[in-house]
Structure 1
């Protein structure tokens, strides 16, 4: 290092590349969290899409029915 000035022209500010990676990662984590129902809104939406209850059979009855066919 000699201390020599290389360039005096100001080319403007540049965004740190780590910021973009962090932002992308955070948005991906948020979308995964929504799909898993980790937010209150996503949890309430998942409850709305709950499948209707059909007549419930015991596992034994289900297996008997399956093997009859």
Structure 2
């Protein structure tokens, strides 16, 4: 009888460990997805900064082209 009780407790403990391992795996996947999303957002932000800087440079070049020279 004691052996059956011990075996049942081990089975329960193994089930709990498996469940926790699944939860940890899911959280790791979620964390990876969030990190990938943040990298993507950072890349987009940098692209927009470059676009704005190039547009400003082009605008200044146009202004300098039409600026009367002394």
TM-score (normalised: structure 2): 0.43
Report the structure, 1 or 2, having the larger helix content: 2
TM-score (normalised: structure 1): 0.44
Larger Rg over CA atoms: 2
Higher RCO structure, 1 or 2 (CA under 8 Å, sep 6+): 1
